[in-house]
Structure 1
């Protein structure tokens, strides 16, 4: 896939997928109204802002990797030509899913909307199921031993502190 097409496809998928899951649905659930479930909620709001900024940086970087390293998109309809294992992917196999979940949790903290914690748990279960029963088998079929080695070396959900270096 050409770099320009991959970039446009990734940008469109970014708006649709993470934009919908971590933007539209939280807005529909909360109207982005602030609540204060506890009297001293301000420290949680500050943590939420930090989580939001960090998660957005990870998400954008991970999407960019699909264009620059994978020569494709994260969208199943236009997958990458090469296995994406650089950047945050050297620490954890699912940085995009973790970033989207962090965006939901960050909003829950900033807004004080406890319903977003429940929504985050549901999204987490859906992501885990999709990875386990769709993405991992598809990656094994597409990239074979290279993906198997990566899968064995890099954890799926809890990032490793030191980046993995393929041999």
Structure 2
């Protein structure tokens, strides 16, 4: 896939997936109206704003990685040509899902709406199930040993502090033993 096609495909998928999950659905559930009487102190609202901002930035970063490093999109119908293991993917395998979860958690703190807490739990469960039931299998089938070694080195949900370096692992492209 060429970069302009990957960029357009990723932009469309951004609107269709995280845009709906972390944007339109919370809007539909709350109308972006906070609870009439805010129960939590202002600092929690500020933390919520920080979480929404951080989640949004991580999402954009992850989508850019798919275009520039993977030469494709995050959409299953237009996958990447290369396994994406750079940037934030050096610390955690699922930064995109974590970003969506973080964004919804931030909205929950800002708006203080119980429905968002239930939605956060449901959305998280669906994303985790999707990763375990479909995505990991698809990546193993597509990238084989390269994905296996990456999955063993990088946690799926809790980021590691020390970044993963593919060239430190035999079998990854660029490692002397793989050439």
Please list the CA deviations of residues 58-105 of structure 1 after superposition, one character each: whole Å capped at 9, or x if unmatched: 000000000000000000110000000001100100000000011111
Partner of 1:41: 41
Preserved contact between residue 32 and residue 111 of structure 1 (Cα < 8 Å): yes
For 1:107 and 1:162, locate their aligned partners in 2 and report how far apart those are by CA, in whole Å: 30
Preserved contact between residue 41 and residue 112 of structure 1 (Cα < 8 Å): no
Matched, 1:61 2:54: no
For 1:87 and 1:157, locate their aligned partners in 2 and report how far apart those are by CA, in whole Å: 16
For 1:123 and 1:56, locate their aligned partners in 2 and report how far apart those are by CA, in whole Å: 16
For 1:41 and 1:62, locate their aligned partners in 2 and report how far apart those are by CA, in whole Å: 32
Please list the CA deviations of residues 130-152 of structure 1 after superposition, one character each: whole Å capped at 9, or x if unmatched: 00010001000000000000000
Partner of 1:157: helix, strand, or coil?
coil
Number of equivalent positions: 166
Partner of 2:157: 157
Q: Which runs of 5+ in 2 are unaligned?
A: 169-179
**Cα displacement (A) at 1:34:** 1.1
Please list the CA deviations of residues 25-53 of structure 1 after superposition, one character each: whole Å capped at 9, or x if unmatched: 10111010012451x43111000001111
**Cα displacement (A) at 1:114:** 2.0
| RMSD of Structure 2 on Structure 1 (CA) | 0.9
The ranges of structure 1 where at least 4 consecutive aligned residues each deviate by more than 6 angstroms after the TM superposition are: none
Matched, 1:91 2:91: yes
1:1-167 aligned within 5 A: 1-35=1-35, 36-38=37-39, 40-166=40-166, 167=168
Which structure has the bigger radius of gyration? 2
For 1:162 and 1:7, locate their aligned partners in 2 and report how far apart those are by CA, in whole Å: 30
Deviates more, 1:27-36 or 1:13-22: 27-36
Provide TM-score, normalisation by structure 1.
0.97
Q: Which runs of 5+ in 1 are unaligned?
A: none
For 2:10 and 2:127, locate their aligned partners in 1 and report how far apart those are by CA, in whole Å: 19
